[in-house]
Amino acid sequence: MNLAVIKFSSEECGICHKMSFYDKKVAEELNLQFIDVKMQDTATYRKYRKILLTQYPDKSEMGWPTYIVCDSPEGEFQIIGEVKGGHPKGEFRSRLQEVLNSTASQN
C-alpha cells in the first residue's frame, strides 16, 4: 500500500496553522506520506480535489483542518479514513493510528 495523509486546510485557519507544527512529523512517524493542500493553492487543490469531493461532495461536513488518509493518492485512490478538526499532538497521533488500525484489521 502507498498510504498518505492529505491535509486540506486554509491559510486563514489558526488551528490549521497550529497543527502544522507537528502534523507532518506525526504522519511520517506513522510511515505515511504527508501532502499539504491549502485551499488557496489552486494548482495543488485541483490535483487532490477529487479525493476531497469523494469524501465531502459539497464540503459542508468537513472540519478545519481535514486529514484524509488514502491509498494511492496519485492514482486510483481509495479513502481509508479521516481525522477532522484540531487536536493536541498526542490525540492527533492516536486518531491517525486508529484509522491505520481499522485498515489493518480489514486486511
Residues 29-75 have pLDDT tens digits of 999 999 999 999 999 999 999 999 999 999 888 889 999 999 999 98
Do residues 70 and 48 make contact, with C-beta atoms less than 8 angstroms apart? no
CA 9 to chain CA mean position, Å:
9
Q: How many residues does the chain have?
A: 107
* Helical (H) or strand (E) element with 1: none
Cell of 41: 493553492
pTM greater than the 0.75 cutoff: yes
Q: Is 39 helix (H, G, I), strand (E, B) or coil?
A: coil
For the cut 60, the answer to whether the pLDDT of residue 88 exceeds it is: yes
pLDDT value for 57 = 93
> Cα–Cα distance between 73 and 96 in angstroms, integer?
17
pLDDT value for 60 = 87
